[in-house]
Chain A
Amino acid sequence: MKRLYIGGLGHTVSEKDLKDRFGKFGDVSDVEIVTRKDENGAPLKRFGYININITDAEYKRCVGILNKSTWKGGTLLIQLAKESFLHRLAEERQQLVEKAKAPKIIPQEKLVDSFKAAGVENFHMKAAVPGTEIPGHANWVVSKFGRVLPVVNLKGKGKNKVFKYDPSKHCHNIKRLETADDVTSVSKLTWEIKGGDDEISKKRRGEFPKQKPCPKRSKIDLSLFLSNLAQRNAMNAAATGNKNKVAIQQNGLSAVKTGKQKSVCVFDNDSDSEDEIRMLVAQEHLRNPKQTSTEDDDDNLEVVGDDFVVKSNAFWGGVEQDDVKTSLLTSTKDDEEYDSADTDEILTRRKTQTQAESAPVTQDSPTESSKNKSSSESDEGSDEADDEDDVSVDSDYEAMMGNCYRLDLSLADLEQLAKKAEVISDDESVEEPKEEAKTPSAPPKKTGNNPEDILASLLVDDTPEKESKKKKYQVNTVSLPAFIGTKDLFGGPEPSLKRLAPNIDGESSKRLKQDLKLKEQSISEDTQSSNRLSQQKLSTLNIQRGAKKLESKASTSEDDSSSEESESSGDEDVFTSKTSSASQSVVPETELKTVSSNNSKTPVKPNQTKTSRSSSSGSSSEESESSEDEDSAGVLTSKTPSVAQSVKTISKTQMKSVSSNNSKTPVKPNQTKTSRSSSSGSSSEESESSEEEDNAKVLTSKTSLATPLARTIPETELKTVSTNNSIKPKQTKTSRSSSSDSSSEESETSDDENSRTQTKDSKSADSKSVQENVVSHQTVPHSTVIDAKKQQQDNQKRLAALEQRQKETEQQKKLIQGALSNVDAAKVNKSKHIVFDSDEDDEEEDETTSRPEQPPTNLKKSLFEDDSGSDEDQQTSMLEEKKNNKPGGSKLFDSEDEDDGAEDEQFQIKPQFEGKAGQKLMELQASFGTDSRFQVDSRFLESDAEPEDQDEAAPEEDADKQLLEEKKKSLDILQSILNTNIQPQNTRKGKMFKDVSSLHYDPTQEEHTAFEAKTEEPKKESKAARRKKRIEAEKLPEVSKDVYFDISVDLKEVFGTSKENQDKKETVSWDKEAEDPEDIMKHMEVSFTSNAEANEDTSGGFKFSFFGEDTAVETTTKTDEYKIETVKGAKFSWQADPRFQDSSSDEEEVDEVEEDQSASNEITEEPTTSKKTFFFFYQNDERLKGEI
């Protein structure tokens, strides 16, 4: 039976057709037709299978006939096909069934059976030698222990790939299988171990101890971790401790959540409520707050804000900052305060400030301190212990270093200070502990038991702190000090002068300049200055200490007076001159005043008393006044404030009054002898009168000076008061006048000259005073006769130099005034602006503006000068030229002192300019003819001299400009870099900062006295000076004011008519320039005298004459001083111990300096020194008896 495949059937072929067609060849049993269709259902092809019982021959015939024959539309393809699937399946099943019917045979059993037959039982053959083969089984061998094992063929790697393993030959690795005979049943196995009570055995037994509540801990740790995370997020580093808690609070909720989760998974304890968890957290935190803190700042790392102030002020300008702050607070108004003289004040301030600083620091850094505290308190970890050590080390180190660098300062800078270093270090050590104490002293913040309380408190503490910090930050950023070089310290007076120049307050600036110049001169003069300086500094420092304590205004005023006294005594050191500047400077603070005044307390040496009398001319008068003040304490108090303010605000009217006072005083009959002095000023009066007459008279004259002021001058009290103090400004003028007088005397020119000069002075002072001066100028001849002393020529020359300087300063002042007035009056005369120097115009304008009251005088003047004609003008110009050439002139070259020569050289600069100016003037006059406007005027020349300077300084200005441009450029660049708006500071207004880092100690500089250690000198003779004042004060009441009035009236009547014209002119000019009258007078002189004489005289009058007059003044002053001291001696009986007074008042300190002088000079002082040995009182002390 075969199964055939028949392909290529036509569509019409059916099964029956197939059966029929193949029926011929065999018996067809099963026919199956399959139709393949495409997707559309259309038939593709048809084929079929048939089972046919056919023989091979028949099959071949069938294939031969029917294969590839077409039948009913298709070509047949006949092939043999596999048996049908179903058929095969059925066959297989049938076979399986047949198999199952057959019996199974297990080969192992067969083997065992065969072994049994061979005598092997259970694979063991007893009593068989290993290696014997088992009969019937080729591959089985007896091995060790009689065991029957198969020989195994193993596949090997080597050459013989099959390795035959014969177990009998490898017996050694076979172990005996032990058959356990006693088999224990499971029930008999050990189920229980009996042992002791120790934990292991218990645990072995399965008894575990009760579970500890450790899960809580794990919770808290989690919360802490969270808090730390929160901290990180918070990003604020500063408030670590507080923040921790805040964060914890914040994390309370989150901790709760996590706690819940944990409870779910770990503890299976859902009952924990939020509150409970919170409580747990808080308690845990309370229990060990250190944990958190230590976690945060494990290394005691401190994080500080931007506003952290570096302690080492001394190095890096912290002083400056302080200075800035203080100055900002105290004296914004003052421009002069930045003067270098303030350093000691700064230092004194600093002490207090450091203390003040320490306090805020403690407030600021509770967090830090708390941190430290916590770390120090923490006992837990060894790390923390280490931290503690670190802290202690740090503090020690700080202390050490603190002392160290201060000590360095002292050593490096001052030997003297090094001596006192111990004291200072002690003081600072007192301060330092305070700073250090902040950590322990910081209040412990964590006091509350309740977590909410703690949190609340912390929050409260935190916020304000931050705010304050912010504020601080702002402030600090603003207040960063500008950098300051040492320029100011070493640069000398020039910068300050420059600064002052634009200052509107012309007078103050003028004064300052003058003082500075004086200073220079004095430096050149003083050979012994260095030694003295050191002593002075020491003493002054000591005095300062005392003075600072006493803030009473009276004391300050007294100090002022004493300083002035010292000036009068004549030791013209840098200090004295500076003190004058300082005292006059606008500083409203009493402290500064005291300081400056203290500086002025130099031990006056006898030599110097002679030298600098000229300067004392003004100051001595002040002295008297100050003594007055001393007696009347109330007056003083009222005065001192006015003094402070007056300096700045001294109006011209006050100046007038002052000058008028000077001019008026001379009117006394007593002064007929000292007529010169009267003209010059009260001081000269005093000195001369003391020489020749009784002290009482001198004093009276002084008093007359002082008291009439108040009455005669119809001004407010304040003004009068200020006039007393403001005599200094006047001083320049008076001294000038005095110098002119002296010069005239020396040259011994005619009386007329003197009178003229004096009148000039008086005119400059006041119109009234002019008339009065006329009176005084009558007396001049006497004075000339009297003053023949030429022993003191040196001093005179010095005086002259001083005067010249003063003059120069006045010139500068004039310039300023002119500029100011020009500003005011520019509109009026703009049309007049002509080609030549604008300064001339300005001058003219100044004149016109200055004399708005007297327009006729201008006319008169012009007329008058027209009369004199161009010749005169030319003459004057010539004269001035000569002056210029001679400035150092006859006297200067004659001078024996080299110092003077040096000074003269300094002076020579100006005259040269004047010479140029003179030439210019000549040219101008040649071109403009006799125009009255261009008449020679000393003011003109002097004012012109300045422009000359400027011309020469033009290149410098260019350089400056370039620098400024550069600066601007760099600022622009900076701006571009920083993207911020940077505005250049107003350098003028900026305060003078000092770069302390680059500061080197210079014993010659006054400011550096602050660095010196102060040694206290016994205060002995200060009382003498004081007594002096007192005596003077006592005598003041004696002065009769009536006399003054009378004389003034008479003088006016007598002389007013003759010189009205000139007087008026000069009075007008006075306000702005005191020199105009002088010039005019010079012209007059020229006209009167021969040319040669006139030249010399005028020159002398202009500059040289000062020397002459100065000499006279000096002589008088000298005598005056000597006599005054004698007076003291007379009074010493009751004053025996000055100390008593010293203890009572600050002035004593000031007076100390003068001790030396007085001691050397006079015998009277000696007793005081002898008594100094006692420290306080002794029985029957005279002081107690005599004075209070």
Chain B
Amino acid sequence: MRPLTDEETKTMFEKLSKYIGENIKLLIDRPDGTYCFRLHNDRVYYMSEKILKLATNISRDKLVSVGTCFGKFTKTQKFRLHITALDFLAPYAKFKVWVKPGSEQSFLYGNHVMKSGLGRITENTAQYQGVVVYSMADVPLGFGVAAKTTQECRKVDPMSIVVFHQADIGEYIRSEDTLT
């Protein structure tokens, strides 16, 4: 477990900023204590200083997970967000998409969001903007990338993809093994 290098930090922040923009600041600079990102097994964990200290007591090979896993670095040093980061993305998300109850399940099975399932969308969403997907009851379901702008979303036919699926809370069940 080690702190992120500058490059890694930059990569990760760039990815995060697609979803929450400058609100990353609120993750780093929290009034209730010191929080930090740590890299372990190519995964980035977000934890409080207290947990960090506790985690030092565990050897590296035995440590499976600590704090909240935000995502992992791929072999090509790209950063991939995991669904576990949703707890931190959802409250700060700039752009949101609400899916209709009918297509909730589809999304939770890992499918993209079609126009027909789109219930609501934040205005001025740009194309390929990171969005957090909510149910109509405002339960965060996951996140993805807007395939179309808000304007385009109004015009397109119902079967066209509006949001590309990236992660959903169904992964907690589907990929239970790999989520750490």
Choose from B90, B98, B115, B135 the contact partner of A299 (Cβ within 8 Å): B115
The docked-state distance in angstroms from the alpha carbon of A913 to that of B90 is 47
The docked-state distance in angstroms from the alpha carbon of A299 to that of B124 is 18
Is there a chain A Cβ closer than 8 Å to B17's Cβ?
yes
Residues of B with C-beta under 8 A to A306: 94-95, 122-124
Is there a chain B Cβ closer than 8 Å to A495's Cβ?
yes
Nearest-CB distance from A296 to chain B (Å)?
7
Task: Given A296-B154, A393-B101, answer yes or no on A485-B32 (Cβ-Cβ < 8 Å).
Answer: yes
22 A–B contacts, CB within 8 A, in A order: A235-B151, A299-B115, A300-B119, A302-B121, A303-B120, A304-B96, A306-B94, A308-B122, A310-B90, A317-B91, A398-B137, A401-B139, A480-B92, A481-B91, A482-B31, A484-B32, A485-B30, A487-B33, A959-B49, A963-B49, A987-B31, A990-B32
The docked-state distance in angstroms from the alpha carbon of A318 to that of B50 is 25
Closest residue of chain A to B25, judged by CB?
A982
Please encode chain B, from 106 to 148, with 1 for each CB lying within 8 Å of some chain A CB and 0 for all others: 0000000001101111111000000000111111100000000
Closest residue of chain A to B9, judged by CB?
A973
Which B residues from 42 to 100 make CB contacts under 8 A with A?
A: 48-50, 52-53, 87-88, 90-92, 94-96, 98, 100
The docked-state distance in angstroms from the alpha carbon of A989 to that of B50 is 20
Task: Given A301-B118, A482-B26, answer yes or no on A316-B91 (Cβ-Cβ < 8 Å).
Answer: yes
Is there a chain A Cβ closer than 8 Å to B177's Cβ?
no
Q: Are A483 and B120 in contact (CB under 8 A)?
A: no
Q: Are B36 and A315 in contact (CB under 8 A)?
A: no
Nearest-CB distance from A735 to chain B (Å)?
33
Residues of A with C-beta under 8 A to B30: 482-485, 987, 990
Residues of B with C-beta under 8 A to A402: 137
B binding-site residues for A, Cβ under 8 Å: 3-4, 6, 9-10, 13-14, 17, 21-37, 48-50, 52-53, 87-88, 90-92, 94-96, 98, 100-102, 115-116, 118-124, 134-140, 150-151, 153-154, 158
Is there a chain B Cβ closer than 8 Å to A980's Cβ?
yes
Is there a chain B Cβ closer than 8 Å to A390's Cβ?
yes
Q: Are B22 and A982 in contact (CB under 8 A)?
A: yes
Closest residue of chain A to B132, judged by CB?
A310
Q: Are B37 and A970 in contact (CB under 8 A)?
A: yes
Q: Are B35 and A485 in contact (CB under 8 A)?
A: yes
The docked-state distance in angstroms from the alpha carbon of A222 to that of B48 is 62
Q: What are the nearest 3 A-B pairs in CB distance?
A: A990-B31, A401-B137, A302-B120
Residues of A with C-beta under 8 A to B150: 237, 303
The docked-state distance in angstroms from the alpha carbon of A296 to that of B154 is 7
Residues of A with C-beta under 8 A to B32: 482, 484-485, 487-488, 495, 990, 992-993
Q: Are B21 and A978 in contact (CB under 8 A)?
A: yes
Closest residue of chain B to A981, judged by CB?
B22
Q: Are A304 and B123 in contact (CB under 8 A)?
A: yes
Is there a chain B Cβ closer than 8 Å to A985's Cβ?
yes
Closest residue of chain B to A494, judged by CB?
B50
The docked-state distance in angstroms from the alpha carbon of A96 to that of B124 is 91
Q: Are A495 and B13 in contact (CB under 8 A)?
A: no
Additional A-B contact list (8), CB under 8 Å, known A312-B137, A495-B32:
A306-B124, A308-B122, A482-B29, A487-B50, A970-B28, A978-B21, A982-B25, A985-B31
Is there a chain B Cβ closer than 8 Å to A991's Cβ?
yes
Please encode chain A, from 297 to 340, with 1 for each CB lying within 8 Å of some chain B CB and 0 for all others: 10111111110101110011100000000000000000000000
Which A residues from 236 to 280 make CB contacts under 8 A with B?
A: 236-238
Task: Given A299-B116, A303-B120, A991-B31, answer yes or no on A974-B24 (Cβ-Cβ < 8 Å).
Answer: yes
Q: Are B22 and A980 in contact (CB under 8 A)?
A: yes
Is there a chain B Cβ closer than 8 Å to A351's Cβ?
no
Which A residues from 483 to 498 make CB contacts under 8 A with B?
A: 483-485, 487-488, 491, 495
The docked-state distance in angstroms from the alpha carbon of A394 to that of B135 is 10
Q: Are B9 and A964 in contact (CB under 8 A)?
A: no
Nearest-CB distance from B68 to chain A (Å)?
9
Closest residue of chain B to A984, judged by CB?
B29
Please encode chain A, from 227 to 240, with 1 for each CB lying within 8 Å of some chain B CB and 0 for all others: 00000100111100
The docked-state distance in angstroms from the alpha carbon of A963 to that of B30 is 13
Interface footprint category on A: 35 or more
Nearest-CB distance from B35 to chain A (Å)?
7
Q: Are A491 and B34 in contact (CB under 8 A)?
A: no
Closest residue of chain A to B6, judged by CB?
A973
Task: Given A237-B154, A317-B91, A974-B13, answer yes or no on A304-B121 (Cβ-Cβ < 8 Å).
Answer: yes
Nearest-CB distance from A1107 to chain B (Å)?
35
Nearest-CB distance from A396 to chain B (Å)?
9
Is there a chain B Cβ closer than 8 Å to A967's Cβ?
yes
Is there a chain B Cβ closer than 8 Å to A57's Cβ?
no
Residues of A with C-beta under 8 A to B48: 485, 487
Q: Are B124 and A969 in contact (CB under 8 A)?
A: no
The docked-state distance in angstroms from the alpha carbon of A1046 to that of B55 is 67
The docked-state distance in angstroms from the alpha carbon of A992 to that of B30 is 9
The docked-state distance in angstroms from the alpha carbon of A997 to that of B91 is 10
The docked-state distance in angstroms from the alpha carbon of A234 to that of B109 is 37
The docked-state distance in angstroms from the alpha carbon of A316 to that of B87 is 8
Please encode chain A, from 81 to 99, with 1 for each CB lying within 8 Å of some chain B CB and 0 for all others: 0000000000000000000
Is there a chain B Cβ closer than 8 Å to A976's Cβ?
yes
Residues of B with C-beta under 8 A to A491: 50
The docked-state distance in angstroms from the alpha carbon of A993 to that of B151 is 37
The docked-state distance in angstroms from the alpha carbon of A390 to that of B158 is 14
Q: Are A969 and B153 in contact (CB under 8 A)?
A: no
Residues of B with C-beta under 8 A to A992: 31-32
Residues of A with C-beta under 8 A to B139: 312, 315, 401, 405
The docked-state distance in angstroms from the alpha carbon of A310 to that of B101 is 16
Query: Among the interface residues A232, A485, A960, which one has the most CB atoms of the partner chain B within 10 A?
Result: A485
Is there a chain B Cβ closer than 8 Å to A971's Cβ?
yes
Nearest-CB distance from B169 to chain A (Å)?
12
The docked-state distance in angstroms from the alpha carbon of A485 to that of B96 is 23
Which A residues from 980 to 1031 make CB contacts under 8 A with B?
A: 980, 982, 984-985, 987, 989-993, 997-998
Q: Are A390 and B100 in contact (CB under 8 A)?
A: yes
Closest residue of chain B to A313, judged by CB?
B138
Residues of B with C-beta under 8 A to A238: 123
The docked-state distance in angstroms from the alpha carbon of A312 to that of B139 is 7
Closest residue of chain A to B56, judged by CB?
A959
Which A residues from 1052 to 1081 make CB contacts under 8 A with B?
A: none
Residues of A with C-beta under 8 A to B134: 310
Nearest-CB distance from A385 to chain B (Å)?
16
Q: Are B22 and A974 in contact (CB under 8 A)?
A: yes
Q: Are B116 and A303 in contact (CB under 8 A)?
A: no
The docked-state distance in angstroms from the alpha carbon of A487 to that of B54 is 14
Nearest-CB distance from B146 to chain A (Å)?
13
The docked-state distance in angstroms from the alpha carbon of A967 to that of B151 is 39
The docked-state distance in angstroms from the alpha carbon of A1020 to that of B30 is 47
Nearest-CB distance from A319 to chain B (Å)?
11
The docked-state distance in angstroms from the alpha carbon of A401 to that of B101 is 10
Residues of B with C-beta under 8 A to A973: 6, 9-10, 13
Q: Are B22 and A311 in contact (CB under 8 A)?
A: no
Residues of B with C-beta under 8 A to A177: none
Q: Are A977 and B138 in contact (CB under 8 A)?
A: no
Closest residue of chain A to B115, judged by CB?
A299
Is there a chain B Cβ closer than 8 Å to A893's Cβ?
no
Nearest-CB distance from A839 to chain B (Å)?
27
Q: Are A963 and B26 in contact (CB under 8 A)?
A: no
Residues of B with C-beta under 8 A to A305: 122-123
Nearest-CB distance from B17 to chain A (Å)?
6
Residues of B with C-beta under 8 A to A969: 6, 9
Q: Are B151 and A401 in contact (CB under 8 A)?
A: no
Residues of B with C-beta under 8 A to A311: 137-138
Q: Are A977 and B14 in contact (CB under 8 A)?
A: yes
Nearest-CB distance from B139 to chain A (Å)?
6
Query: Among the interface residues B32, B123, B134, which one has the most CB atoms of the partner chain A within 10 A?
Result: B32
Q: Are B9 and A308 in contact (CB under 8 A)?
A: no
The docked-state distance in angstroms from the alpha carbon of A997 to that of B84 is 13
Is there a chain B Cβ closer than 8 Å to A71's Cβ?
no
Q: Are A302 and B138 in contact (CB under 8 A)?
A: no
Residues of B with C-beta under 8 A to A976: 10
Task: Given A317-B91, A485-B33, A963-B49, answer yes or no on A308-B25 (Cβ-Cβ < 8 Å).
Answer: no
